[in-house]
Amino acid sequence: MDIKKLLACGAVLALLGGAITVNAADNPIIPSIFASAEDASNVVELAHVGDKYDVSLGNASGTPVWTSANEKIATVKSTGGLSAQITAVSVGTTTIYASLADQTVALTVKVLAEAEDEEQTITLPDLVFGENQNTANTALDGADPADFQWSSSDESVAVVDANGTITAVGKGTCQITAVSGKTTYIINVTSNYSGGQDPTSPTVIERSEVVKLSNEKVSQKISIGQLPEGITPVWSSTDTKVATVDQSGTVTAVDTGECKVLVQLGTTTYSFKVESTYDPSQGIPEKELSSITLSDSTPSRTININAPEGAEVIWSSSDESVAVVDQSGTVTAKGSGTCKIIAYYGGVNYIVNVESTYTGQAPTAPTAQISGIGQTLQLSGGDNVESWSSSDESVATVDGSGKVTSTGLGEAVITATFKNGSTTTVNVVVVPATVYGDANVDGKVDLTDAVAILQYVALPAKYPLTEQGKKNADCHCPGDGIGGKDALAIQMLDAKVISALPLIEQ
């Protein structure tokens, strides 16, 4: 008989009052064998990400340990006693396990759809048209304007087309509305346009913001928000001997003085005043960011700095016999000692202190042991792990979070690959779990095990038991040795006098 199918029938999952109840106490089974979740009655479907579901183990005894095979799809947490709550995290299918002393019950969880969008109204910055400007394109936080229904509350003031281009046609105020599904954008428009000037001629708008630079603040980024598709800003400085600007909008001081930074957006140019008190004779200022350690087990690290988009970062090391750095910010140990990794951009040297104990000797991979099939082990590699893999998935699998699940007896190597390309490994050994009564280690408990015990007790040299078989055979008061009472306990189980092993007598 297929014992997994038997257990799937024994661990009944019934929908009662919005929760699933498992009559685990009615299932007299062998330890370490888990119930299958393939039966349709053992499936819970959650409609949307974020939905929750309550589950209970009914009449079972003991305190269950709840686990999820993939917490990126669904998580489970105990709510006290025999109950727990399942939460949908992302679309997909996973398995929730409830482990008791004598069995593990499995429940398939399917998350069907993403979370439903809630209605939201977003008010964008007010739009003011002057006498020399009467058109503007609208950016909707990354959304495509063509996906929205556009309207104007007063088309004698401003009109809007299907792509979100707003055109002033007269003086006054109105409201432009964009609607898509449950999302509504609102733009309040004030128009001073009377049609007296050609709106297609180049326009320069002086901004009131002033960019102030000094030795303490050598650079500053000017933010212009998200631009409509097809509009690329073009940045320039009126005096590069005072300050420069890159195409990300980062202004960097060169000397003391004043100038203007210009950004051209289509036919409109915006002008920002720059006031610099920067004194280049004081040298390049430094700012300490953080510290890192390197070792034989972690010979490289990648430094992430919050440089403006488009800014050129120049990396260097103060001592390349200790550590080197490439132009992506990946630091690699070359020896023991200390040094500084320097990231230069915006007129400032940003410092990361390095302490290295690297010797060049490959570390010995640690070994972890898992007892029994279907058990889990959580490994952690930090936020920089790119992926996990197993050398033999017939022995152990590993998910994206580093959770290892034993699938068979043997050895497998679990590898964590980091974002910088380096790897580290853990040897996982899966050994049999103790199945009380299974003296001949054939995966089931019956009268042949009782015979094997009696033969072993009488003639151990002629009828030996394996080491695992000896552990399994000691099923009457484990720890008192193998004897006739162990064989008798198996016969009592077969006759249904007792419901489970081991048999403990007080």
Residue-wise pLDDT for 446-489, tens only, equals: 999 999 999 999 999 999 998 888 989 999 998 889 999 999 99
Average pLDDT, the chain: 80
What is the average pLDDT across 350-361?
89
- Using CA atoms, how far apart are residues 105 and 99, in angstroms rounded to an integer? 6
First to last CA, the chain: 34
Query: Helix, strand, coil proportions of the chain in percent (round to 5)?
Result: 10, 45, 45
List the beta strands (DSSP E) in 286-329. Answer: 286-294, 300-302, 314-317, 323-325
- Using CA atoms, how far apart are residues 455 and 309, in angstroms rounded to an integer? 77
**pLDDT at residue 475, as a whole number:** 92
Predicted confidence (pLDDT) at residue 299 exceeds the cutoff of 50: yes
Whether the ω angle into residue 502 lies within 30 degrees of 0, i.e. cis, is yes
**pLDDT at residue 278, as a whole number:** 87
Predicted confidence (pLDDT) at residue 2 exceeds the cutoff of 60: no
CA–CA distances in Å: residue 372 to residues 31, 443, 467 = 10, 12, 15
* Of 354, 368, 262, nearest in space to 315 by CA: 354
DSSP structural state of residue 373: T
- Using CA atoms, how far apart are residues 42 and 24, in angstroms rounded to an integer? 13
Residue-wise pLDDT for 128-139, tens only, equals: 887 766 777 776
Residue-wise pLDDT for 238-279, tens only, equals: 888 898 888 878 888 888 999 999 888 776 788 899 999 988
- Using CA atoms, how far apart are residues 104 and 120, in angstroms rounded to an integer? 44
Q: Are 215 and 282 in contact (CB under 8 A)?
A: yes
Q: How would you classify the pairing of strands 43-48 and 104-113?
A: parallel
> pLDDT grade, residue 151 (50/70/90)?
very high
Residue bearing tokens 């396990």: 97
- Using CA atoms, how far apart are residues 308 and 58, in angstroms rounded to an integer? 57
